Structure 1
Amino acid sequence: MNATNPYTLGFFVLLLLSGTACQPKKNALATTGKIAVLWELVTNFTGEKDAFYARFQLTNHSDVNLDDKNWALFFSMAPRPILDNQTEQPARLHHINGDWYVLKPDKNFHLPPGESIDIFYRGVEAVIKETDRPLGLYFVFYDDEGKEQKIENVIEYTWKPFVSPDQINRNEKDEEPIPTAALSYKNNLDMTDLSSAAVKPIIPSPVSLVMDKDSVEVNNAWAIYFEKGLEGEAAYLAAALKEATGLDLKTQSGAPQGKAIRLLQAPLVVNGVAHEAYALNIMANGIDISGSDAAGVFYGIQSLRACIPLKSYASRSGTLRLPKLQVNDAPRFAFRGLHLDVSRNFQTKETILRTLDLLSFYKINRFLFYTTEDEGWRLEIKDLPELTDVGAQRQHTSGKEAPALHPAYGSGPFAKEEGRFGHGYYSRTDFIEILKYATARHIKIIPEVNFPGHARAAIKAMEARYERLMKEGKEDEANEYRLIDPDDKSVYLSAQGYQDNVVCVARESVFHFYEKVVDEIATLYQEAGLTLDEFHTGGDEVPEGAWTKSPMAMALMREHPEIKDPKNLQTYFLRELVKRLKSRNLQLDGWEEVALAKKADGKYEPNPEFVNANVVPYIWNNIFDYPDLGYRLANAGYKVVLCNVSNFYFDLAYSKDPQEPGLYWAGFVDTRHSWTFAPYDMFKTTKKNSLGQKLDLETVKGYEKNKIIVEHLKPQARKNILGLEAQVWCETVKGRDMLEYYVLPKLVGFAESAWAAERSWETVDDKTQREKLIRDGWNVFANSLGKRELPRLHYLNGGYNYRVPPPGAVIENGELKANVEYPGLTIHYTTDGTEPTIASPRYEKPVAVKGPVVLRSFDDAGKGSHRVNVSSE
C-alpha cells in the first residue's frame, strides 16, 4: 500500500552526478574512464502474462577491456521479480534486495574499448513511467582476485522515451486511455468559465458565507486586538499579513480602539459542531474573528487570508482591500490529515516546515510523520546512535547481509553524496522545533514507528550496535535491543522486494526497543511542551512466510499454543504492544492490518479483539479484494480513518503520461479524484479499478471472483469515521520541488472533502442526476483553482511548486482549437517548435495554423504547465 515536475531537467540531475570514487589500487582499472549506459523499455506486450521486455546498452569509452569478471553494474529499479532469459545474453540481471539490482557479465563476456553491447532482460509487471527506469547507476570494478577495487557513478546515462501503445499500456486489459492533447480537449469541453461572483473566495468551502457588494480598506492605521490566550494567533496573523501584503499591524490586548481586527473566543456551534468552529465578519468598521476555541480563531484567520486579492500579493503595497462578508464555519471531520514518508527519500526540516504552513492554510490538522522504514531511520534517538549513524544513510555494501543500508531509490553508492536523497535525519532539536511549529498552527504530529514489518533500517542499525558491543565484550548490552533471530531461515519477499525486513516478535528485546523509542519520542514532546497521546504502529504488509523457520518463533508458539500459526504472530505482536504501552495512555494507530485476522487460506477478516483497546486502523483499501473494508470495520465498532487509495494517495501519478512522475499500482489520482469523495457512501465515487476498468460497487452483490458481498456503512456507525487522510509515499519523490508537485493542487481537493459540509450530490441515488451535480460542482471548484488557488500558491510562503495542468488541443481542418482543465488559466502557443512563454501568442479562439503547434497553459502568476504538441495528423 505504501506502496517532479518531470518537465525540468533539475529532477533528473541526480542521475548525472558522480561522487568521489573509492581510492583504487594502482593497476589498469585506475584508467577505466567512462562506460556509457542506455536503457530502453522494449515492450510490455511480450505474449506472457504481466511480463515486460527491456534492454541495456553498454558502450565502452574507456581504454580497458571489460571481461566476465572485472565489472558489475548496480542500480535501483521499481521492485519486481526478474524472469529467466529466454535467449542467451552476454550479462544477466539479478535482484539483490528491495529495489537493489545488479547486472553481472556471463561467461565469455567481452567489451573492448570503443564498442557497444546490448543486454536484454524480462521482468514481471509493466513498466510505463520514466520514473520506473533504473536509477542511481554505478559500476563496481574488481581486481583479479574478485575483490572490489573501484566504484564509479555512471555519468553517461540515457534512456529512450516511452512513445508506443505497448510501452504506455500495461497489458491488454488496460482500459485507462493514453493521455493526449486531443483527449484532454474532449474532457475539458465540460468546463465553463464562470463569473468572479460564482467563484468561491474560501477553500475549503465554509458552511455559510454571505457576501456584500461593498469592500473595506485595511491599512497600517489598523491594529490587531486579541483576548488573553490568543497571543500566538495574533502574532501569526500579523506576520502573515506583512509577508503577503506589506501591512504592518501592531498587536494589542484589551478593548479595541478604532478600526481593528478583533480576535476573541466565544461559544459557537456551527452545523452541530463546536470544536474548531469560527465566525468571520468583515465590516466597514473592523473585522471580527471569533472561535469556539483557539483553533477556531486560527481557522478564521486562514479564511481571512483566503480573501486577500491576488493583486495585493503581487504589489505588497501596504494596504489591503477586502470584501465585506459574513462566514460561519466548522469542519465536517475532526481528523483531517496528511501522511508524509521521509524514509524512502529524505525531506529537509525546512521542507517539513513549509509543508506544515501549507497544511494549516487549508485547515489540515493532523500530520502523520513517517520517519522509519526499510530504507531509512530519520529521527535521532538518545542512547541509540546507530539508528542515525547507520540507519539514516545508504551506500554500496558487499551484500544485503552487511550491517548497513544498501542503495535504494537512486541514492547511489556513496553515503551523504550531494544531490541524492538517501541520507539525512532530524536531530532531537530539529524534531522539537517541528513539533512547536506544528502546534502553533494547530496541527497535531503523530509519529510512526512501523513494526513488525518495514523495519529493515532499525534491524540493520541494531545489528551494527550488536557487532560493536560484542567486540567490546558486552554481550548482555549487545542483545538489549537486538531485533532478529540470527538463526531464522524463513524465506519471504515483502511487497517492496525485501527478504529481511521483519523483526523477531519472539524476542523480548524487540519490545524493549519499541518501548525505548516510544519513551524517547515522548520525552521530545515533553520538551516541546506537549504530551504524546497518539502513536502510529504501522503494522502493514508483513510478508507471507515470515517467522516460519525461526527457532525463536517456534519456541514461542510452543509456549503459546493458542497462536496456532506463524501468520498469527502479527496479532500477537500488537496484543503485546497494546498491553505494554497501556500505562503510557497512548491511542495506538495502525494501518488496516492491525484490525484484521488472517485466516488459514491467507484471507483477512475483521478481528474484534482490539475494538475497545484504543486501536485506530487507517484504511487504504477501496478497490481491491476488500473494497468495503473501512465500512466493515466501522460497523464492527472500530474508530477508523479513511485513506482511500483511489482518491487520496498523492504519490500515484496524475495521469498515465509516461513523463508524469509517480506510481500507478492502484491507478491514477488527480485533483478531481481527491475532491470527488463521498465519505459515507464511497461506492458512489469509486468508479474504476487500477486498470481503468469500470466498477459498479453501488449495486454489486458479489465482487469479482471472491464473491464478496459489499457492506455499506450503517447509520449508527457514521460516528466511527474519525476523518480522512491523504498519503504521500516517497519512493519516486526526490526533493522539495517534486514533493510539492505531487501534493499540489491535489491537497486543495482533499481539503474540500475533509472540511466542507456534505455536498448535495453525495446523497443523490439517481446516477444521472448525481453525475450532473458532480460535474456542476467540479466546474465551480475548477474555476476556483484556475482563478484563485493556483496563482495564490505562487505567492504563499515564497511560492510552492504546484502543478499547472497542460491544455487540451486539436487541429481540425487547419484550425487550432484549445481549452483548459481549470477555467481562468490562459493558453500560449508557438508554431516554430519553440517553448511557449507568457509572452508568446495567446490563444483566445480557434485560429488557422499550418504545421504542428506547441502549447502551454499559464496561471495569473505566470507559472506554466509542461508543453503539449499537436498536429493535424
Structure 2
Amino acid sequence: MRNFFCLTVLFAVVFLLNSCKSSEKETGQIAVSWELVTNFTDVENGFEARFTLANHGNDALTDKNWALFFNMSPRPIIPAKTAQSATVQHINGDWYKLTPNAGFALAPGDSTEIRYAGTEAVIKHTDAPMGLYFVFYDKDGKEENIVQVGNYTVLPFARKEQQLRGKDDLRPLQTAAKRYQDNLAVSLLDAKQLQRIIPAPVKITPGAGTLSFGNEVAIFYGNGLENEAKLLSEKLKAVTGTDFAIKSGTPADKGIVLKTGAVLVNGIAKEAYKLSVDDKGVTITGSDASGVFYGTQSLLALIPTASYLKPGPAIALDYVQIEDAPRFHFRSMHLDVSRNFQTKETILRLIDLLAMYKINHFLFYTTEDEGWRLEIDGLPELTKVGAQREHTAGGMASPVLHPAYGSGPKAYDEGKYGSGFYTKADFIEILKYATARHIKVIPELNFPGHARAAIKAMEARYERLMKEGKEKEANEYRLIDPNDKSVYLSAQGYKDNVVNVARESTYHFYEKVVDEITKIYAEAGLKLDVFHAGGDEVAEGAWTKSPEAAQLLKENPAVKDPKNLQSYFFGKLLKRLEKRNLSIHGWEEVALNKSPEGKYLPNPEFVGKKVVPYIWNNIYDLDLGNRLANAGYPVVLCNVTNFYFDLAYNTDPLEPGLYWGGLVDAYANWAFAPFDMFKTTFQTSMGKPLTFTGLEKMKPEARKNVIGLESQLWSETVKGRDMLEYYTLPKLMGFAESAWAAERPWETIENSGVRQSSMQKGWNVFANTLAQKDMPRLATLNGGYNYRVPMPGAVLENSTLKANVEYPGLSIRYTTDGSEPTPQSSLYSAPVKVSGKVKVRSFDAAGRSSRTAIVDGNAAGSTLD
C-alpha cells in the first residue's frame, strides 16, 4: 500500500536535517556524510549513493572491528560493479548495515568513500540514511560498544540527476520560477467572495444585519445536548476570554439555542442541521445530536478570523441562514502511530481538528510490523516487546523489534519516536474524547501481513513460557510455523512479517485481541461494532515452504495455491468476527482474489456480509474502486493520488514525504470526483499521462455503494506532533470539502476544458479562503497548529522581482541584504527593482511563514531554494 522513506526533515522553523550534534550518547570521532550521486544509472529507476567516513578519533577502523547500522527507505541493493572497501547490506525492513571488506583500514586523520547502488530512485532528504550508529567488536567478534553517530551530514540534492527519478521522470523540477508560473492561475479575492465555512454548507442565505454578542448571551440546550453546549461554551471562551453560561430549556429573550427537530436537507436527515443568526440570537436545530454539533462547528467557523487573532469580549456575526447535511455519512481519517509513535496529547489535538472539519470516523492504526501500540490484558509482551525498538545482536531471529525509521539502537531514546504505547486508560480517554465530538474510533489489527510486531512479541512469550516448562501455554498464541522456510520480501522490505494462517493459535490470538479491545470499549461506555481487519500487502512467496501450510492445502484442495491462503484466512476469520456482531472493514485485498496470472479480481464470496473494503489503489489498478462498487461491495474510497497525506506536497527535495503514488497537496484533496475518479486523476507518479481506455466506470446504480471517503497519514517519515500537523494541514480542509460538501458542479461536466475552467474557479475561492480565513485561525487554536505555509513563487526579469503565492491572501516579504525575511521586512505588492540575491517568504495574518526562497539576480534568475 505504501512505499516509504524516512529521516528527520529540514524545515525552516521547526525541523533541521539530521546533521546531528554530539551528546552523551553520540560521538563525532567518526564523521559520516552521505550523498546521492545520481538517479540516472544503467538500472531503470536505480540510484547510486556514497558514504564518506572520516576518522577524527585516535583508534583505527579495521576490517573486523566495526559495522555501521542505519535505516533507509527500503530498496533492494545492487552488488557493486567496482571493488569497494565496504559493503552495504539490507537486513530487514528499512534496516541496513555497512560492513568493511577484507583489507579495510581507516587510520586516524584519514577518510574513505564507499559507493553503493540500489533500485527505486530517491529524490528527497527524507529518503536518506538516518538513525546511524556504529557497533564496535572485540577481537573475538563480540559486540563491545554501540555508539550513535553524532557528526552526520546529508549533502544537498542540487542537481537534476538528484531531483528526478531517472530519464522516465517527466515531472518538472520544483523551483521558484515554476511556482510563479503555477501561481498565475489564482488571484486575490475580496473577503466577501470567500467561502464562509469549510466544508461548504448545502445552502447558505445571507441576511441584512449583524448580531453582536458576548457572554451576556447564554447557551440554551435541549434534551440530550448538554455535551454539545459545554463544548461550544469552551470554544467561545477561547475566542472571547469569557465564560458562556449553559442552561437547559429556551431563552426568554436573546440566546444561543441548541435543539433537535425534524431536519431534512438534500434528502438527508442524519447529521443534518439548520443554523440561523438573526436579531433573536443564534438557533441551531439538528436532526440529531451530531447535527447540532456540526451546527456549532459552523457557528465557530462564521466568527471572523480577526476575532481569533485578537480576542475580545464581543463577537459580531452577520445574519445568515444555513441548511446543511453531509454528502457522505462516512468521513474518516486514518493515522498510523506504529511506524512512528504519537503521544496521547497529540491524538487529542488531532481529534479536535477532525471535529472542526466535520470528520466523523478515525481509523486508529496501532499495530504494524514496526510497533504494537495498545496495551492488551493477558498479553504483556505485546507492549513490553512489540512497543519498543532497539539494536539486537541476534538480527532477525531475536524476539526483538530492530531499529526502524531512525529510531536508533536504544529503546525509548529521547527525541526518537520508535518506542511507546497507549495504556488502557489512555485509550479509554481517547475513545471518550472522540465520542464527545461525534467521532467513531475504529481499531485495526492487520493480519496476515504487516504483523511482525505481534509475531516477535508472541515469540518472546513463547520463549518465556517454554523456559517455565509450559509448552501448551507457550503455543496458545504463537503466530508462526517454526519450520517455515518460505522466502519473500514485502513491499516494505520485510522477510518475516506474515503470520501462519494454518495455525489455530493465529485465530485464537486474533480473537483474544478483539475481545480485549471490546472490553476496553465497554469500559469507555461504548459498544465495539466496527473492526478493521487490515489484510493488505501479503508478499508473494509467503507460505510456499511452510509444512503447516502445505498440510492445510492438502486438506483443502479447493484453495489450490498458497497465494489464495489470504482469502482463506479472511473467510475463516470473518466467521469468528461475525459471531461478535462486528462489521468488518479492511483494505481492498480482503475483497479480492488473485488470478493465476497474479491479477486482482473481485471476490464475490463476501458481498452482503458486512465487509467494507477501503480502496487505496487507483494508481496501479486504476478502476479497482469502480469494479468493487459495481460488484456490490460497500466501499470507502481512500485513493492514494488524492487522499494520502504522507505523500509530499511537491518534488522539492527539502519538502518531506513520499512520492511513490504521486504528489498530494490541498488541491488534490479538494479536486476529487468520487463517482468518476477518472475526471480527477491524470498522471502516474512519474508524470506520465494516464489513459482509461477499456477500464470499467462506476455504474449509476453502484454509487450508493460508496459509503464514504477516508484520508490516510502513514507515518514512516513523520516524526512528532509538528510534522504530523504539517503533513495534515491544509490538506485536511480539501479532504473535508470532498467528503462533506454537496456534489460540485464540475464533477459532472464531461468536456475537459470546461470542467477544468470550472474547477479552477472553485479552487481559487477555496485557496483564498485557506489563506485569509482558516489557516490564521488554526494558529490560535489549542496553542496553535503547525500548518504548512507554501513558499512563494518568484522570478527576476531585467532586475525586476516578480512574486506571487499559491494561496492568495498570504503576504510576501523580501530582503536583498542576505538576511531572512521577517514580518517587518519589505512587503512585496507589485514588481520591484532589485539587485543581487533576493530572499522571499510567504506570511499569513497570524505571522506564520513559509521556508525561504532565494532568487539570484547575478545568476540569470536562477532559483536556489
TM-score (ref. length: structure 1)? 0.97
After TM superposition, list the pairs within 5 Å mapping 1:680-691 onto structure 2: 680-691=675-686
Does residue 440 (structure 1) correspond to residue 436 (structure 2)? The answer is yes
Residues in 2 aligned to 1:358 and 1:106: alpha-carbon distance in whole angstroms: 52
**Residue type of the partner of 1:728?**
L
Using the TM superposition, give the Cα deviation of residue 804 of structure 1 relative to its aligned residue in structure 2, in angstroms. Answer: 0.4
Contact preservation (8 Å) 1:809, 1:816 = yes
**Residue type of the partner of 1:136?**
G
**Aligned mate of 1:491, from 487, 490, 493:** 487
Indicate the residue corresponding to 1:507 in structure 2.
503
Contact preservation (8 Å) 1:15, 1:135 = no
**Aligned mate of 2:804, from 819, 826, 836:** 819
Indicate the residue corresponding to 1:198 in structure 2.
193
Indicate the residue corresponding to 1:517 in structure 2.
513
Percent of residue pairs identical? 62
Does residue 795 (structure 1) correspond to residue 780 (structure 2)? The answer is yes
Does residue 2 (structure 1) correspond to residue 2 (structure 2)? The answer is yes
Indicate the residue corresponding to 1:375 in structure 2.
370
Residues in 2 aligned to 1:84 and 1:621: alpha-carbon distance in whole angstroms: 32
Does residue 734 (structure 1) correspond to residue 729 (structure 2)? The answer is no
| 1:16 partner SS | coil
Does residue 767 (structure 1) correspond to residue 771 (structure 2)? The answer is no
The verdict on how the C-alpha distance between 1:761 and 1:853 changes in structure 2, with shifts beyond 3 A counting, is: same
**Aligned mate of 1:325, from 302, 320, 324:** 320
Indicate the residue corresponding to 1:27 in structure 2.
none
**Residue type of the partner of 1:8?**
A
Residues in 2 aligned to 1:235 and 1:329: alpha-carbon distance in whole angstroms: 22
Using the TM superposition, give the Cα deviation of residue 216 of structure 1 relative to its aligned residue in structure 2, in angstroms. Answer: 0.9
**Aligned mate of 2:344, from 326, 336, 349:** 349
Deviations 1:736-794 (A, max 9, x none): 00000000000000000000000000001111111100010000111101100111111
**Aligned mate of 2:279, from 266, 275, 284:** 284
Indicate the residue corresponding to 2:640 in structure 1.
645
Residues in 1 aligned to 2:711 and 2:656: alpha-carbon distance in whole angstroms: 18
Contact preservation (8 Å) 1:198, 1:780 = yes
| 1:322 partner SS | strand
The verdict on how the C-alpha distance between 1:753 and 1:211 changes in structure 2, with shifts beyond 3 A counting, is: same
Residues in 1 aligned to 2:322 and 2:14: alpha-carbon distance in whole angstroms: 43
Does residue 596 (structure 1) correspond to residue 592 (structure 2)? The answer is yes
Using the TM superposition, give the Cα deviation of residue 14 of structure 1 relative to its aligned residue in structure 2, in angstroms. Answer: 6.4
Indicate the residue corresponding to 1:703 in structure 2.
none
Contact preservation (8 Å) 2:2, 2:660 = no
Residues in 2 aligned to 1:13 and 1:166: alpha-carbon distance in whole angstroms: 21
Contact preservation (8 Å) 2:9, 2:16 = no
**Aligned mate of 1:270, from 265, 270, 278:** 265
Contact preservation (8 Å) 1:17, 1:419 = no
Using the TM superposition, give the Cα deviation of residue 18 of structure 1 relative to its aligned residue in structure 2, in angstroms. Answer: 6.3
Indicate the residue corresponding to 2:825 in structure 1.
840
Residues in 2 aligned to 1:305 and 1:61: alpha-carbon distance in whole angstroms: 59
Using the TM superposition, give the Cα deviation of residue 15 of structure 1 relative to its aligned residue in structure 2, in angstroms. Answer: 6.0
Residues in 1 aligned to 2:818 and 2:71: alpha-carbon distance in whole angstroms: 35
Using the TM superposition, give the Cα deviation of residue 411 of structure 1 relative to its aligned residue in structure 2, in angstroms. Answer: 0.2
Using the TM superposition, give the Cα deviation of residue 5 of structure 1 relative to its aligned residue in structure 2, in angstroms. Answer: 6.7
**Residue type of the partner of 2:772?**
K
Does residue 16 (structure 1) correspond to residue 20 (structure 2)? The answer is yes
Indicate the residue corresponding to 1:544 in structure 2.
540
Contact preservation (8 Å) 1:208, 1:328 = yes
Residues in 2 aligned to 1:833 and 1:541: alpha-carbon distance in whole angstroms: 50
Does residue 145 (structure 1) correspond to residue 140 (structure 2)? The answer is yes
Indicate the residue corresponding to 2:384 in structure 1.
389
Contact preservation (8 Å) 2:465, 2:474 = yes
**Aligned mate of 2:452, from 450, 456, 459:** 456
Does residue 404 (structure 1) correspond to residue 400 (structure 2)? The answer is yes
Unaligned stretches of 5+ residues in structure 1: 23-31, 701-708
Contact preservation (8 Å) 2:12, 2:850 = no
Paired residues, number: 853
The verdict on how the C-alpha distance between 1:433 and 1:606 changes in structure 2, with shifts beyond 3 A counting, is: same
Indicate the residue corresponding to 2:104 in structure 1.
109
The verdict on how the C-alpha distance between 1:832 and 1:17 changes in structure 2, with shifts beyond 3 A counting, is: closer
Q: CA RMSD in A?
A: 1.2
Contact preservation (8 Å) 1:810, 1:871 = no
Deviations 1:604-626 (A, max 9, x none): 111100012211000011121x2
| 1:387 partner SS | helix
After TM superposition, list the pairs within 5 Å mapping 1:66-105 onto structure 2: 66-105=61-100
Residues in 1 aligned to 2:760 and 2:275: alpha-carbon distance in whole angstroms: 30
After TM superposition, list the pairs within 5 Å mapping 1:33-44 onto structure 2: 34-44=29-39
**Residue type of the partner of 2:155?**
K
Contact preservation (8 Å) 1:453, 1:542 = yes
Using the TM superposition, give the Cα deviation of residue 657 of structure 1 relative to its aligned residue in structure 2, in angstroms. Answer: 0.2
Contact preservation (8 Å) 1:33, 1:63 = no
TM-score (ref. length: structure 2)? 0.97
| 2:70 partner SS | strand
| 1:623 partner SS | coil
Residues in 2 aligned to 1:225 and 1:580: alpha-carbon distance in whole angstroms: 47
Contact preservation (8 Å) 1:246, 1:319 = no
Residues in 2 aligned to 1:386 and 1:545: alpha-carbon distance in whole angstroms: 28
After TM superposition, list the pairs within 5 Å mapping 1:292-331 onto structure 2: 292-331=287-326
Residues in 2 aligned to 1:42 and 1:815: alpha-carbon distance in whole angstroms: 35
**Residue type of the partner of 1:425?**
F
| 2:379 partner SS | coil
Using the TM superposition, give the Cα deviation of residue 255 of structure 1 relative to its aligned residue in structure 2, in angstroms. Answer: 2.5
Residues in 2 aligned to 1:148 and 1:10: alpha-carbon distance in whole angstroms: 36
The verdict on how the C-alpha distance between 1:46 and 1:13 changes in structure 2, with shifts beyond 3 A counting, is: closer
**Aligned mate of 1:429, from 407, 425, 428:** 425
Indicate the residue corresponding to 2:863 in structure 1.
none
Residues in 2 aligned to 1:20 and 1:603: alpha-carbon distance in whole angstroms: 53
Using the TM superposition, give the Cα deviation of residue 129 of structure 1 relative to its aligned residue in structure 2, in angstroms. Answer: 0.2
Indicate the residue corresponding to 2:252 in structure 1.
257
Using the TM superposition, give the Cα deviation of residue 313 of structure 1 relative to its aligned residue in structure 2, in angstroms. Answer: 1.5
Deviations 1:100-134 (A, max 9, x none): 00000000000001110000001111010000000
Indicate the residue corresponding to 1:156 in structure 2.
151
**Residue type of the partner of 1:492?**
Y
Deviations 1:55-89 (A, max 9, x none): 00001111101000000000000000000001000
Residues in 2 aligned to 1:851 and 1:325: alpha-carbon distance in whole angstroms: 52
Using the TM superposition, give the Cα deviation of residue 213 of structure 1 relative to its aligned residue in structure 2, in angstroms. Answer: 4.1
**Aligned mate of 1:809, from 783, 794, 799:** 794
Contact preservation (8 Å) 1:791, 1:859 = yes
The verdict on how the C-alpha distance between 1:856 and 1:208 changes in structure 2, with shifts beyond 3 A counting, is: same
Does residue 856 (structure 1) correspond to residue 833 (structure 2)? The answer is no
**Residue type of the partner of 1:162?**
F
**Residue type of the partner of 1:807?**
P
